[in-house]
Structure 1
Amino acid sequence: MGAGLDAKVEDRPGAGRVAQQRTRIQLVNREIILSAALEVFATHGFRGATVDQIAARAEMSKPNLLYYFRRKQDIYRAVLEHTLDDWLAPLAAIDRDGDPIEELRRYITLKLQMSAENPAASRLFANEVLAGAPVIGDFLKTRLRELVHEKAGVVRAWVGEGRLAPVDPTHLIFMIWAVTQHYADFDVQVRAVLGSQVDKPGFHEQTAQAVLTIVLNGIRPRD
């Protein structure tokens, strides 16, 4: 028998390319599933959502979806972890050596942009926290806590150097989260107050400018 018959699939000509293509397809399908699941969970909540609804929104069969995720709980956890990875990236990017006002301006702007572009993710996270964070409680107490403590230390150093007004660093981060996610989590309330103004061109830019003016003027160093 020739050695070629005993060769592993990975060693055959073109096998590596096929494997890479399969991996890319799998990554794309996972993203499709997570995007569909986000909308379904944000609309119906964890208890009200079904795997059938997610499969239908992802435009794939239920057996195909279950190839990637065994249970609804696994999909839900993956959606939340994906959301948190996206949200924490701008906070992690705050640079100790940068200009404090510009670093915080960039962070607030990115958070507002993310809330405007993906309000379902913000609402899903809010619902999870209001439910007592049964799925991501450990994440909040470990990775999130560690990152907040790290960046609060950066803000504290800036305050100590006189580059920011005396503010509590942790509560500043809490306040930024609250104001930037408000426009997604309380969209119905915002629309009740502002009406059709919310859908006019430039609304999100005006919102960002108002929030930045209020927050940044509050933390600028005093003469």
Structure 2
Amino acid sequence: MNEDRHKPRARTRIQQRNRELIREAALDVFSQQGFRGATLDQIAERAGLSKPNLLYYFPSKEAIHLDLLSRLLDTWLDPLRTLDPAGDPTREILAYVRRKLDLSRDYPRESRLFANEVLQGAPRLMELLGGELKSLVDEKAAVLRQWAAEGRIADLPPHHLIFAIWALTQHYADFEVQVRAVLGEGHDPYAEAHDFLDLLFTKLIAPAQRTG
């Protein structure tokens, strides 16, 4: 009896729903206002909850922000984790580019949240960036370096190849308003970007033709 009393209670459906409401509202507010411009009052209002009710689930603005960033980073790393050293290099790299572009299309608010955090010096993410992210990028850079040494892709600085993929895919989320304004009506920026980036990276990573 006593042991049961001390077990943590599972969250009710209402509690789970309210946590998700807060996360959704915070994503909107943080992606539009940045961390410094966002307030708990704005998040509570967007979530349709009172501020005291919000504070029942998250003790501070920082706690909500870190919760979102931690979940986001895991999602952001998944496509790179799937880069298979045993696969065909060109297919693997192009698949990674497509998955990153799909993330920009499907999670634009999350991309802008991440960009805002990095632009502020990543005060809440630096440990993760210098730890889990760096380790994964170093691991996959070694794969790219090996493929280049085997003559299967062009000899490019592997870390900078990964940076280029990030820049060229996340641009469509972080600057979506600009992209759509420049392209105008009748364009699907993501469909066009898929075709363009396939062509760009196919040419970029193609190994040099051997002569003689």
TM-score normalized by structure 1?
0.84
Q: Classify the secondary structure of the residue corresponding to 2:208.
A: coil
Corresponding residue of 2:196: 210
CA contact (8 A) 2:31 2:109 kept: yes
CA RMSD of aligned residues (A): 2.1
Corresponding residue of 2:208: 222
Corresponding residue of 2:27: 38
Supply the distance in 1 between the matched residues of 2:34 and 2:60 (Cα, whole angstroms).
15
String of CA shifts for 1:75-123, please: whole Å, max 9, x gaps.
1111111111110111111111111111112111111111112211111
**Gapped regions of structure 2 (runs ≥ 5):** none
Which of 108, 122, 127 aligns to 1:119? It is: 108
Corresponding residue of 2:145: 156
Query: One-letter code of the match for 2:87?
Result: G
Query: One-letter code of the match for 1:83?
Result: L
**Gapped regions of structure 1 (runs ≥ 5):** 1-6
Q: What is the CA distance between 1:27 and its match in structure 2?
A: 4.3
String of CA shifts for 1:106-156, please: whole Å, max 9, x gaps.
111111111112211111211111111111112111111111101101111
Q: Identify which range, 58-67 or 172-181, moves more after superposition.
A: 58-67
Number of residue equivalences: 207
Q: How do 1:48-87 residues align onto structure 2 when only pairs under 5 Å count? A: 48-87=37-76
Supply the distance in 2 between the matched residues of 1:103 and 1:169 (Cα, whole angstroms).
14
String of CA shifts for 1:135-180, please: whole Å, max 9, x gaps.
1112111111111101101111111111111111100000000000
String of CA shifts for 1:30-58, please: whole Å, max 9, x gaps.
33322221111011111221112212222
Supply the distance in 1 between the matched residues of 2:60 and 2:33 (Cα, whole angstroms).
17
Q: Classify the secondary structure of the residue corresponding to 1:196.
A: coil
Corresponding residue of 1:4: none
The 3 A distance-change label for structure 1 pair 47 and 203 is closer
Report the identity percentage.
Answer: 51
Corresponding residue of 2:88: 99
Q: What is the CA distance between 1:73 and its match in structure 2?
A: 0.7
Corresponding residue of 1:3: none
Q: Classify the secondary structure of the residue corresponding to 1:55.
A: helix
Q: Classify the secondary structure of the residue corresponding to 1:41.
A: helix
CA contact (8 A) 2:35 2:116 kept: no
Corresponding residue of 1:169: 158
Query: One-letter code of the match for 2:35?
Result: F
Q: What is the CA distance between 1:59 and its match in structure 2?
A: 2.6
Corresponding residue of 2:128: 139
Q: Classify the secondary structure of the residue corresponding to 1:165.
A: coil
